[in-house]
Amino acid sequence: MPGHFEPLPGGGAAVALDDVEISIIRSLAVQLLELIGPGPAEDAPADPLAELFAEGPSEPPADPVLRRLFPDAYSDPEKAPDSPAAAEEQQVHSAEFRRYTENDLRAGKRDNALAVIRSLDALAPVDESGTVLKLAPDESRQWLGALNDLRLAIGARLEITDEDDTDLLFRLPEEDPRKPMVLAYLWLGGLQETLVTTLMP
């Protein structure tokens, strides 16, 4: 089980983690929360109707990590629009889609990151052999979403756009300042892949 998720009888997943691994995942999840931004104020009165019609931003985020986490719905990076009119129409559709979906997307990503932090905080104290994190099926899906977001965020910081970039990162010299982020990216990828396997029927 060390370093990868395994399925639990009856659903869910388990992984053995040491205190360093717990600290890394928790720190990354906290940073992700800070990047995504706060949700609605805790003491704000709940108004389901107002929440339903609440509008989000219409412009893409300036931060490249947030642009990776919340991409334009109608843009294709591999195919430019045929004309200025098509580009403008694409921008209008993307802005409209973003306005009515980004708040919910941010809330979902925030919930997933919080679920990761809470499950790590609930672990028994770690001894020298580590501890085992056990996740229910719903928690596994939240972890999967958070791991994906963390890898997207790190990938954006490392400017990874395709598999060729990943291959180059394997060959970085040890003294390269990006090396710790690369190792985290690859490790989280392994966790994500094995967690996907536990969720397959």
In tens digits, what is the pLDDT along the chain, a chain of 201 residues? 457 999 999 889 999 999 999 999 999 999 999 999 886 554 455 565 555 556 667 677 889 999 899 888 777 656 666 678 776 777 777 788 888 888 899 999 999 999 999 999 999 877 777 899 999 999 999 999 999 999 999 999 988 877 666 777 777 888 888 888 988 999 999 999 999 999 987
Helices 19-36 and 179-199 pack at an angle, to 10 degrees, of: 90
Q: Which of 34, 5, 179 is nearest to 110 (CA)?
A: 34
Q: Which of 149, 163, 66 is nearest to 108 (CA)?
A: 149
Quick check: 116 and 133 in contact, CB under 8 A? no
Distance CA 140, CA 12 (A): 6
Quick check: 30 and 117 in contact, CB under 8 A? yes
